[in-house]
């Protein structure tokens, strides 16, 4: 059946492989979360929206809204004493809106699109050289990143799902 005609095909709950990988990579580790994005550009605000939701739910792990400047937060990661850090950003990887996955840093530079891909790429490479933890990038497929729009319902649901998965990992 065509994805556009099948509502179940666009259900964010189909992210079980990503959720399993996230749980496996964070198991038993002290981790933190860095939200990346621009709240003024529709679904590009997925990362900051996640951080707001984690604050609302009083997450028991460190988190920070890096907005559009994730490169300024390498020191934050190091100072937190983390064993893993999860970056969350809107990443176009040709999935259904609201689909999320763990994006390999090489994929980010070569086949996926993020408005922050260069700064994220260099930040994660910097961290790998100076810090011995696990850096993950959760990419959320945006529906729209038009200026002045809020999150689409699909990405809003994905943000809630990711928050739930992270809270389960804590």
pLDDT tens-digit readout, 63-90: 999 988 888 888 898 899 999 999 999 9
Residues 6+ apart with CB under 8 A from 85: 31, 32, 33, 34, 77, 127, 133, 134, 135, 136
123 domain residue, yes or no: yes
2 domain residue, yes or no: no
pTM (two decimals): 0.85
What range defines the domain where residue 91 resides? 7-169
DSSP-assigned beta bridge partners for residue 137: 87
161 domain residue, yes or no: yes
1 domain residue, yes or no: no
CATH number of the domain that residue 35 is part of: 3.40.50.1450
Domain count, the chain: 1
70 domain residue, yes or no: yes
pLDDT tens-digit readout, 5-63: 333 344 444 588 999 999 999 999 999 999 999 999 999 999 999 999 999 999 999 99
């Amino acid at each position: 059946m065509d994805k556009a005609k099948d509502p179940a095909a666009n259900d964010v709950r189909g992210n079980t492989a990503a959720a399993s990988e996230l749980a496996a990579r964070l198991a038993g580790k002290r981790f933190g979360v860095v939200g990346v994005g621009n709240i003024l550009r529709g679904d590009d605000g997925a990362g900051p929206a996640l951080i707001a939701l984690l604050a609302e739910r009083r997450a028991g792990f460190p988190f920070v809204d890096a907005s559009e400047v994730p490169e300024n937060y390498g020191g934050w990661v190091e100072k937190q004493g983390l064993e893993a850090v999860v970056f969350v950003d809107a990443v176009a990887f040709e999935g259904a809106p609201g689909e999320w996955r763990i994006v390999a840093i090489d994929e980010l530079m070569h086949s996926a699109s993020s408005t922050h891909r260069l700064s994220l790429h260099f930040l994660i490479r910097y961290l790998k050289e100076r810090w011995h933890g696990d850096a993950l990038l959760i990419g959320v497929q945006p529906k729209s990143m038009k200026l002045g729009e809020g999150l689409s319902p699909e990405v809003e649901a994905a943000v809630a799902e990711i928050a739930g998965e992270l809270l389960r990992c804590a």
